[in-house]
Amino acid sequence: MQIFSLWYLLLSLSLIFSSPLLAQQKTKLTIEEVQRLGLQANGLVLAARSQVDMAKAGVVAASAFLNPEVTFMAGPMDRRLPLADTGPASSQRVVTVSQPIENPFMRSARINASEAVVDASRASFEQVRADLAAQLRVRGYELLLRQEQFAVEQNIYNLVEDVRNRIKINVERGEIARFELIRADTEVQNAANRKEAARLGVERARIALMQFTAGAIPVDFEINASLKDPINLPPLEELRTQVPNVNPEVIRLQAEQERATQRISQEKSAILPQVNVLYSNYQDAQFTSNSAGISVRIPLWYRRRGEIDTAIFDSARIRDTLEFRRYEISQLFESAWQALQIAQRRVDMFEGGLIKEAENAVDVARAAHRFGERGLIEFLDTQRILRGILGDSLLARFDLQSAAAEIDRLRAYYPKELFVE
């Protein structure tokens, strides 16, 4: 009885732990969740965020007031006349305080320039995030593409293998020549090779996506998306106006332009006289003296012409770069939009009936071959046509998603509410 109870317990535990409910399930991630995990873990994003923090610290330094300078001097007084005339020897002590008074125009320009550096750093940070978000999105859809390609190759392999098995039966019956079986075996091997290559493509795409997320996603992840996900973009004219104004690189160059302008003001303010307020206290055995005054540095011989010209030329350089990059980004958008339209037309062509026609042709050719009305070559030709059409259809879907990701990258659009600063 005890042996039977022990056996029953072991059997029950075995059934429980082998139950599908307790089997390890793959972690399903949407494209947005992959982007969130990647942006939180990628080292380039973290480094760009540190640059913003450094720029903010620069504002603190630029806003600081100049510190005073204190000088203390003391020492004995040696007699140069007889003791009867001077009395006993004593010591002296001098304390001097100097407080620079900074030019308010220079201070304001320096603070504004440092704040412009913060804006430029934030724009660079946004550029890094937008680029990485687009790359993660494309890599996610590339993984879906490789998985779909593997599924196509798997179906083609099953189809060819089924035909090969029928040919083998016919050869064994003596109805067709053995040469047909050799040809079918070759086609099965080719299909197996393509299937294995597609499987390796899936693994490479998984590894590439994990590298972009710095290993933040679990190994057993699964993308919960589809190549047929809808494309949601504003109208063309709205995008043409929006992209050159919200692109992070354009915003960064605008901030750099502001920094250069403030630097010109700062250098021009530096030619104004610089004032120091002075206070001095002198003490010895007989006297105490307090005095105050000012010292003024007058730029008489050199009026910072070199520094001012350098700032002006730097501002002109940034302005020219800004105009060129704004035009270039507009052209990049136009190219991405054209790629989007071409991919959409290809998708419509394939899914508008071309795939269905190719599948019907394969079914007819397989049935005709089964009844001996067509040879193996005709069937293989229709199978290759179907495989090519399915592959091109998947590439068209992927190109459509990639073009949309490029447009969103140019306008720095991604679900920012999912990402913690």
% of the chain exceeding 90 in pLDDT: 53
Domains, in order of start, for the chain: 32-66+105-270+319-418 (1.20.1600.10)
Average model confidence (pLDDT) for the chain? 85
3-class DSSP state of 176: coil
- DSSP for 226-268 reads -TTPPP----HHHHHHHHHHH-HHHHHHHHHHHHHHHHHHHHH
- Whether 142 and 398 have beta carbons less than 8 Å apart is answered as yes
- Whether 296 and 273 have beta carbons less than 8 Å apart is answered as yes
Among candidate residues 33, 49, 39, 28, the one with its CA nearest the CA of residue 213: 39
Residue 167, CB half-sphere, CA atoms under 13 Å: how many?
Answer: 25
66-83 exposure pattern, b = at least 16 Cβ within 10 A, e = fewer: eeeeeeeeeeeeeeeeee
> Which position has the higher pLDDT, 51 or 381?
51
Question: From CA 330, how far away is CA 188, in angstroms rounded?
Answer: 50
- Residue 267 pLDDT greater than 80, yes or no: yes
The pLDDT tens digits of the residues spanning 272-325 come to 888 999 999 988 777 889 999 998 888 888 888 898 999 999 999 999 999 999
Return the DSSP state at 26: P
Question: From CA 105, how far away is CA 383, in angstroms rounded?
Answer: 78
pLDDT level of residue 214 (50, 70, 90 thresholds) = confident
The pLDDT tens digits of the residues spanning 312-370 come to 999 999 999 999 999 999 999 999 999 999 999 999 998 887 888 877 877 777 777 66
> What would the two tokens of residue 170 be?
């016919």
Whole-structure pTM value: 0.81
- Residue 389 pLDDT greater than 70, yes or no: yes
> What would the two tokens of residue 129 be?
């995030």
Q: How confident is the model at residue 12, as a pLDDT?
A: 45
Q: Pseudo-torsion of CA 84, 87, 89, 91, nearest 10°?
A: -150
Among candidate residues 193, 206, 213, the one with its CA nearest the CA of residue 144: 206
> What would the two tokens of residue 124 be?
């660079």
Please classify residue 302 by burial: count the beta carbons closer than 10 Å to its beta carbon, then call 0-12 exposed, 13-18 middle and 19+ buried. exposed
pLDDT level of residue 16 (50, 70, 90 thresholds) = very low
What average pLDDT does this structure show over 169-173? 78
% of the chain exceeding 70 in pLDDT: 87
Question: From CA 202, how far away is CA 186, in angstroms rounded?
Answer: 25
The pLDDT tens digits of the residues spanning 108-136 come to 999 999 999 999 999 999 999 999 999 99
- C-alpha 295 chain-centroid distance: 53
> Which position has the higher pLDDT, 264 or 11?
264
The pLDDT tens digits of the residues spanning 182-201 come to 888 888 899 899 999 999 99
CA quadruple 106, 110, 112, 113: dihedral positive or negative? positive
The pLDDT tens digits of the residues spanning 129-155 come to 999 999 999 999 999 999 999 999 998
> What would the two tokens of residue 237 be?
């004219």
Among candidate residues 112, 100, 140, the one with its CA nearest the CA of residue 402: 140
> What would the two tokens of residue 386 be?
């179907």
